């Protein structure tokens, strides 16, 4: 059995760790509240931007099909065979967040293997130190790393990432660009997602027939009695498309950054809460061991005193 001094030192060490984890939980909770507010404010804007973009692209597709014109609407809408694929991986700069970074790495590795099995050449752009380290450890080709993004996430940083990606997609360095991020559901639930970022969404034939289908967030059909929404475009559709496509890309990246940031704080708060409770349990067990060891030491001393007294009587 360890000595009383050793047990006391260990209890003190665990108590110090408990104070740190409790403080980190409180800080993560405060930051999570701010991140949730940003996501709540951004989501309606992102959804409406996607709806308007889908409607503009759909009307242009319908006109092109009626006129028997088979030309790409825009370079960012052009579909090509995916021979070169780029992944934008959004992870965290720090750990102590449970399985947050590990889930991102698993999603990247799974999609990475699928693309390589299909014969595509895969490259990576990273946001966050943990993702970059995991990809480099597995031998991935990291073309660029955007550093210090999470110090203050804003539209300017999302725009810088979007410009870097679109410049290379326009000159055909890559045939498709995917973004990997963690979607925030709740402090105890975050889902790693792999979404196609480029080429930007183009309505399918079924969507062109049913204008309500492309903008709905699920596979359910709207009420048949509900008439589809008709839009009057001002200025023209070409000008709107030229403006909406970069805007949609920037908002999509910004949303991914916000979602990942909130997911990190939620995962960290949950992990630190669990660590604080585990520290409390460990302190209780160590205190019990300490009391038993102290009782055994006292009993041993009493036995020695009684034995010495009996020896003097003889």
Lowest mean pLDDT among 21-30, 136-145, 191-200, 293-302: 293-302
Q: Are 16 and 236 in contact (CB under 8 A)?
A: no
Spatial separation of the C-alpha atoms in residues 122 and 138, rounded to whole Å = 13
- Pick from 275, 269, 34, 42: nearest CA to 150: 34
pLDDT at 202: 64
Say how far apart CA 144 and CA 127 lie, in whole Å. Answer: 9
Q: Give the pLDDT confidence of 173-189 residue by residue, as tens digits.
A: 999 999 999 999 888 88
Smallest CA-to-CA distance from 55 within 195, 166, 199, 210 is with: 210
The bridge status of strand 176-186 relative to strand 189-198 is antiparallel
Look at residue 223 in the predicted model and tell me its pLDDT.
Answer: 46
Who has greater pLDDT, 163 or 75?
A: 163
Give me the chain's average pLDDT, please: 83
CA pseudo-torsion sign 20, 25, 27, 31: positive
Percentage, residues of the chain above pLDDT 70: 83
4-25+271-313 CATH: 1.10.287.80
According to CATH, the topology of domain 40-202+232-269 is: Pyruvate Kinase; Chain: A, domain 1 (3.40.1380)
Which two structure tokens, joined as six digits, stand for 223? 């009420």
pLDDT of residue 220: 43
Q: What is the mean pLDDT of residues 189-197?
A: 91
pTM as predicted? 0.80
pLDDT at 127 over 90: yes
Domain residue extents for the chain: 4-25+271-313, 40-202+232-269
C-alpha triplet 64, 65, 70: angle, nearest 5°: 65
Residue 308's pLDDT band (cuts 50, 70, 90)? confident
Q: Which of 10-24, 77-91, 199-213 has the lowest mean pLDDT?
A: 199-213
Q: What region, left, alpha or beta, does residue 250 occupy, with left being phi > 0 and alpha being psi -120 to 50 degrees?
A: alpha
């Amino acid at each position: 059995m360890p000595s009383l001094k050793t047990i006391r030192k260990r209890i003190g060490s665990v108590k110090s760790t408990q104070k740190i984890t409790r403080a980190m939980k409180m800080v993560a909770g405060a930051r999570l509240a701010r991140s949730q507010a940003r996501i709540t404010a951004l989501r309606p804007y992102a959804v409406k931007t996607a709806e308007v973009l889908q409607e503009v692209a759909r009307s242009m597709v319908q006109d092109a099909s009626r006129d028997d014109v088979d030309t790409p609407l825009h370079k960012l809408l052009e579909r090509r065979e995916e021979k070169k694929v780029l992944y934008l991986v959004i992870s965290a700069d720090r750990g102590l967040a449970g399985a947050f970074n590990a889930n991102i790495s698993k999603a990247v590795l799974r999609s990475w293997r699928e693309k390589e099995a299909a014969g595509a050449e895969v490259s990576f752009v990273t946001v966050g130190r943990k993702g970059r380290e995991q990809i480099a450890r597995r031998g991935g080709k990291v073309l660029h790393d955007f550093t210090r993004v999470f110090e203050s996430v804003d539209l300017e940083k999302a725009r810088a990432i979007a410009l870097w990606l679109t410049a290379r997609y326009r000159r055909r360095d890559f045939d498709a660009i995917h973004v990997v991020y963690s979607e925030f559901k709740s402090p105890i639930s975050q889902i790693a997602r792999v979404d196609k970022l480029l080429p930007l969404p183009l309505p399918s034939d079924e969507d062109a027939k049913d204008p309500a289908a492309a903008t709905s967030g699920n596979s359910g059909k709207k009420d048949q009695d509900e008439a589809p929404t008709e839009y009057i475009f001002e200025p023209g559709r070409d000008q709107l498309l030229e403006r909406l496509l970069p805007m949609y890309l920037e908002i999509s990246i910004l949303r991914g950054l916000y979602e990942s940031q909130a997911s990190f704080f939620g995962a960290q708060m949950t992990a630190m809460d669990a660590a604080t409770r585990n520290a409390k349990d460990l302190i209780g067990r160590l205190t019990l061991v300490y009391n038993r060891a102290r009782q055994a030491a006292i009993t041993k001393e009493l036995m020695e005193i009684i034995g010495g007294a009996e020896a003097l009587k003889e």
